[in-house]
Amino acid sequence: MSKQFVFDQVNQLEALCAETCRWLWDNPEVGGQEKQSADHMRNILSKEGFVIVNEEKMEHAFYAEYGSGKPIIAFLGEFDALPGLSQKEIPEREALIEGGAGHGCGHNLLGTASMTAAIAVKRLLESKKLSGTVRFYGCPEEELLSGKVKMAYYGMFKDCDIALTWHPGTSNLVIDGGELACAYEKFYFSGVTSHAAFAPELGRSAMDAVELMNVGSNYLREHVISSARIHYSSDNCGFPPNIVPSKAVAWYAVRAPHMADVKSILGRIENIAKGAALMTDTQVEMKIQHGCCEIRPNHKLSDLTWKNMFEAERPVYTEEEKAYAKSIQYTVASAAVERDRAPFHTDEVLHSQVAARDTWKEVTMTASTDAGDVSYLMPMCFFTVANLPFGVAPHTWQATALTGTSIGAKNALYAARIMAGTAYDLLTQPETTEAIIKEFKDADVDYSPMYHE
């Protein structure tokens, strides 16, 4: 039995992969509202012979399972879109639906590729009578950085041995760590309402407290590690300017390389909030919303994934596809293109090679993903595939204009081949699988999901 069998199974699913990528693109749903998307994938997997297991406390979270015995391999799939990123497949900003959602992060490709790989591995287990279990995880709310954290909290990943996942990007790159830990916290200030002109001395402004907190937090920026990020927004709870507002909210997000850094910075922000309440004679209630961890590396699994990135057939583009990608690239700043392209030493529009093993260390990674929490539960691989031209960032209309095209579908199929090939090695090379799991267990890191019902 050769690995080509599982690659062939993926290739036989090319039509299904392309159709599903497009269906999700045509029916975008934002995080927490992915009913159609989750149901569509559940239906496909059920017809393929998977048993569907739903999480009753999360309507759109599920896993689909086939097989028996060890190892249990998890393919992580996402399918949420982004608000306001509806876009036609043209190289200029024009929404399909004004104000509508769009797949500007390529999760239509991400979920589809993982599902395609899971089906291919299911057919491998079925045809070759191998011991092992494959699970496809339908993971909602990734853009909220909460879905997999909640799924971990509810025990959905119990008994899994290894997880495989990826993300659309601008390069074919294995990422052995990286991504920032992130946590959200809300600060609810309460004061005393009064007429702002007639009796301002009787008021205690919750909005003043929010503004003072924000000023203090901005001074804090000088005194945190340079790789940290502090974001915030404010809400005056609808009070007009002629009323001293008794309610106001500050909503903070903190990112940093490690969750320990995030918690330390949040602790200092909490002290600033207390100080703001003291200065304004108001009260403050603080509530952590949720938080996600950085990606915990597993070098042996990353090595295996990287090997499969070479072994799996890479996309070949038509001249029309290349021209369209170039027309999208023209809409972004040339400096952004060159900065994105620099670590890969190429002048290509679409990255066609596999980056050297440690190139990820040269790439600036300031985003976050809730997949990091899964890497604290089991060994997890994470890689990117180049469905976007160099310089095109996710969460943009340019990204949406590409994720529904044949370029996106070809890269989803490439990602599926990589994951299916990696799963083949895990199923047929028990010594490799054992070494990967041993590396994970030897690190002996504590974990608990940062989530509260």
User: What's the CATH code of the domain at 440?
Assistant: 3.40.630.10
Same domain, 287 and 152: no
Residue 157 shares a structural domain with residue 143: yes
The DSSP bridge pattern shows strands 173-174 and 229-235 to be unpaired
pTM of the model: 0.94
d(CA 387, CA 408) in angstroms, rounded, equals 5
Peptide bond into 71 cis (omega under 30): yes
For residues 298 and 274, membership in a common domain is answered with no
Can you give the pLDDT at residue 178?
77
Kindly give the pairing relationship between strand 132-139 and strand 72-78. Answer: parallel
CA-to-CA distance for 106 and 271, rounded, in angstroms?
Answer: 39
Do 185 and 174 lie in one domain? The reply is no
Q: What is the mean pLDDT of residues 126-154?
A: 96
Check whether residue 399 and residue 306 sit in a common domain.
yes
The pLDDT score that the predictor gives to residue 358 is 93
Residue labelled with tokens 């089991």? 378
**What is the pLDDT, as a whole number, of residue 452?**
83
For the chain, the C-alpha Rg in angstroms (whole number) is 23
* Single residue among 256, 273, 292 that ends a domain in this structure: 292
Residue type at 263 in one-letter notation: K
- pLDDT exceeds cutoff 90 at 19: yes
pLDDT of residue 179: 86
Q: Distance (Å, rounded) from C-alpha 298 to C-alpha 159?
A: 18
Boundaries of domain holding 27: 4-179+294-451
Q: Is there a single domain that holds both residue 300 and residue 424? A: yes
Judge if 171 and 317 occupy the same domain.
yes
Q: Give the model confidence (pLDDT) of 334-365 as tens digits.
A: 999 999 999 999 999 999 999 999 999 888 77
Average pLDDT, the chain: 96
Same domain, 369 and 383: yes
On whether the CB atoms of residues 393 and 399 are closer than 8 A, the answer is yes
> Are residues 23 and 111 part of one domain?
yes
CATH label of the domain that carries residue 259: 3.30.70.360
The pLDDT score that the predictor gives to residue 346 is: 95
Total of domains in the chain? 2
Same domain (yes/no): 204, 142: no
pLDDT exceeds 80 at position 1: no
User: Which residue, 246, 273, 292, sits at the end of a domain?
Assistant: 292
* 315 and 301 share one domain: yes
Q: Which of 258, 277, 292 is a domain's end point?
A: 292
Same domain, 300 and 373: yes
